[in-house]
Chain A
Amino acid sequence: MGNEESVFFSRVLTELTLSFHIIYATIGVGVPLMIMIAQWVGIKKNDEHYILLARRWARGFVITVAVGVVTGTAIGMQLSLLWPNFMELAGQVIALPLFMETFAFFFEAIFLGIYLYTWDRFDNQKKHLLLLVPVALGASFSAVFITIVNAFMNAPQGFDLVDGELVNIQPLVAMFNPAMPTKVAHVVITAYMTSAFILAAIAAFRLLKGSDHVYHKKALFLTMKLGLIFSIGAAIIGDFSGKYLAEYQPEKLAAAEWHFETEGEAPLMLYGILDGQEVKYTITIPYALSILAHSDPTAEVIGLNDFPEDEIPPLYIHYLFDTMVTIGVLMIMVSGLYWLGRHMRWRFIHSRWYRWLIVAGGPLTVIAIEAGWWYAEVGRQPWILRDIMKVPEAATTSGHVDTMLYLFATLYLILGVGSVVVLRRMFRNNPIEREIADREAEVREGTRKGGDH
């Protein structure tokens, strides 16, 4: 296999693994927080339904964690296997957060094991809830640390490059690079947002499928409320991300906005298609790009004409950006209307079509996550380390990458189908009505025996 092919297949394999991992990783970051909130509400309101909610979510979470862990291990090793030159170079500057991430995993893994197996060990539920705190912290910090690595790839700093050698290395400066604040915040909050809407989708789906239990209604209301908060947060931080780009990676923003010429009073173009150099059927919002980039309707926004031809990212990232933003705005509206509707007693939020809309929100936010990452990563092309190393220089020279791609693709197919089948079976075999009945029977028996827990 020639070198070009190695590069090509390394890219495809990285894209595949990351795109698959990110689904489970996002759930892994967000769901522990949701479980924590539900259990806390349950304890505070002394409402068994919320506790049960936490418990059932935790059960499903185990399955997604398992796939997250094994695919994460795969991508962790693949970084060295597929991008050895990149890791050799970047490892000298950015190994620290990568290393710290393993501690976050460790912490999470240990307490997750404990949490899952101690539901009935404590008389005081609060103690059990306390065990979840390190799980949620560990998961969020894995996201923080790995995103710092990714931020470094976008805005490398903390070293000097002298004759191809890295000198004067400052690991902390590398970690706190300009891309880091917005990137970390946006990734973490969108993970919370996605998890909230996935759980809301499940609750709405059960209600649609004929269960009328208050359990699902409580679940839906809680998750929609959280989803609203996080989606507003995501949009605000997304706006800051745009400002970061305008300042430090203007080519990414310009390519996403099809902004060809550097100019002030720049309009924002939504949707549309690109026909050669010609932009068609877009919705143009005057001044909006200047506002997104610099909070000033007249500010100058750098266009693609300021960059050499071979350093411009692919222009299709426009569609990815639009997909992400559209879904973000849509979800704010869906959850906002739901929340408002609850207060104003609007009936339509309980209608079937609105519930279907909420169900759609689950997969849609996952699509937004994928679109966002593809936008961020493809928008960095042709660089793997911006302005320092291009993707082809970083790749492995090994043959056989194509074979590995087919092997891993098969693996992910099995894992993806397997996790869905197992999750469905798990909850179908033990519907909430039955679980509540079982627990009540158990409690009755317990009091009869004199509560010998």
Chain B
Amino acid sequence: MSLEVLGITVLMTFLFGYIIVGAIDFGAGFFNAYSLLTGKEHILTNVIQRYLSPVWEVTNVFLVFFFVGMVGFFPSTAFYYGTTMLVPLSIALILLAIRGSYYAFETYGASGHKGYSFMYGMAGILLPASLSIVLTISEGGFIDMVDGQPVLDYGALFTSPLTWSIVFLSIAATLYISAVFLTWYADKAGDRDATELLRKYALIWSLPTIITAGGIVWELRSHNAEHYNQLLGLWWMFALSGALFIGTVYLLWKRHNYGLAVWLLIGQFALAFYGYGIAHYPYLLYPHLTIHDSFTNPAMATALIIAFILGLGLLIPSLYLLLRLFLFNKDYVKGRKKDEHA
């Protein structure tokens, strides 16, 4: 494997990690706000808080890791994406800031206002939408070079059906991933009512997820034929992904083995995500930027990869400890441990 492929694989893996843990987090915020609105907060709040509390900062680091790593391995992305993405990413940053801080304010400070919970929930839905714009732009067709400087064409961006399919997919997938995961978590906590409610949400959001995903492939056919053809070449990955999707829905439907359902879900998204990514190869931004011409020098690349391996040696055991103490700890999940924060 060449260094640039190794680099982009590492980055994609962290992006995938962020998509999954971020989606769980964003969706949870939304369901929490929604349950307040419908007067069902007593059912959900407990489960959601217990899951979110110890991990919210870790979620954020996945994102930081991705964009810092991106600029490290592919410095030219700073030039193309940095120049053009000022507005969408700034909005995403503000939403992230509102979520992160109010979460801490509410959880650890004396708990406050319903308004916060709504903002928190709404931010969770808008965030995937605004972050997903990056994916849309990477398909090309929205950036013009003017005097050697990249300029984003907002008109084309906001009138393109591709943009909106991706936005809808990001929202539907967020809610779907979150609901499936939380169903399992609530089930482990032995919380019958929450399990049932979340299972219902999961089933509701499964259909829009798969429809919008199909819609994007359809859109790509006219928007970016090259990418579309490469996607077709990887049809087996998407077929497998679809099979796993059916498996998840089946298990949910039958109220069977929610743990397996989560794993199938992760498998489904992993296959689709990597399939999409591989088909994107070698472009980081059609048609301006490929992973080859934006790649950093070999000395830096080697240094980054060594740092990455050493870093993983530190992180994996720590993450394992976190998961064991909280996510997979029966007493904690059931709320039996007296683990109030500080």
Contact = CB atoms under 8 A, between A and B. Distances in A.
Interface stretch (B87-95, B165-173, B200-208, B277-285): B87-95
Contact of B87 (A71, A397, A400): A400
Given A63-B109, A69-B57, A106-B315, A95 B296 contact: yes
Contacts of A134: 318
Interface string B71-83: 1110111110111
Interface string A163-174: 000100111100
Contacts, number: 233
18 contacts: A63-B104, A65-B104, A69-B60, A69-B100, A70-B96, A81-B85, A93-B300, A100-B311, A103-B311, A106-B61, A109-B57, A110-B318, A114-B321, A117-B326, A120-B338, A121-B339, A396-B83, A426-B108
Contact of B108 (A63, A101, A396): A63
Nearest to B69: A99
Contacts of B64: 72-73, 76, 102, 105
B254 interface: no
Given A91-B296, A92-B296, A95-B71, A66 B101 contact: yes
Give the most central of A102, A401, A407, A415: most B CB within 10 Å. A102
Contacts of B86: 81-82, 396, 398, 400-401, 404
A283 interface: no
Interface residues of A, number: 78
A118 interface: yes
A408 B90 contact: yes
Contacts of A286: none
Given A99-B72, A100-B307, A113 B322 contact: yes
Nearest to A17: B93
Give the most central of A58, A100, A423: most B CB within 10 Å. A100
Contacts of B325: 114, 117-118
A415 B96 CA distance: 12
Which secondary structure dominates where chain A touches chain B?
Answer: helix
B307 A419 contact: no
Contacts of B296: 91-92, 95
Nearest to A396: B83
B61 to A, nearest CB: 5
Contacts of B68: 76, 95, 98-99, 101-102
A109 B58 contact: yes
Contacts of A423: 109
Given A87-B82, A101-B68, A401-B86, A66 B100 contact: yes
A110 B319 contact: yes
B97 interface: yes
A118 B329 CA distance: 13
Contacts of A414: 98
B54 A113 contact: yes
A408 B91 CA distance: 9
Nearest to B296: A92
Interface string A401-436: 101100110010011001100110110010000000
Nearest to B329: A121
Interface of A: 55, 58-59, 62-63, 65-67, 69-74, 76-78, 80-85, 87-89, 91-93, 95-96, 98-103, 105-107, 109-114, 116-121, 134, 166, 169-172, 396-398, 400-401, 403-404, 407-408, 411, 414-415, 418-419, 422-423, 425-426, 429, 453
B299 A171 contact: yes
Given A112-B57, A411-B97, A171 B339 contact: no
A404 B340 contact: no
Contact of A109 (B61, B78, B108, B149): B61
A102 B69 contact: yes
Give the most central of A72, A398, A453: most B CB within 10 Å. A398
Contacts of A116: 54, 341-342
B47 to A, nearest CB: 16
Nearest to B63: A73
Nearest to B337: A121
Give the most central of B54, B319, B321: most A CB within 10 Å. B54
Contact of A107 (B73, B108, B314): B314
A-B pairs, 7 with minimum CB distance:
A66-B104, A422-B109, A84-B82, A95-B72, A91-B75, A87-B78, A113-B54
Nearest to B150: A397
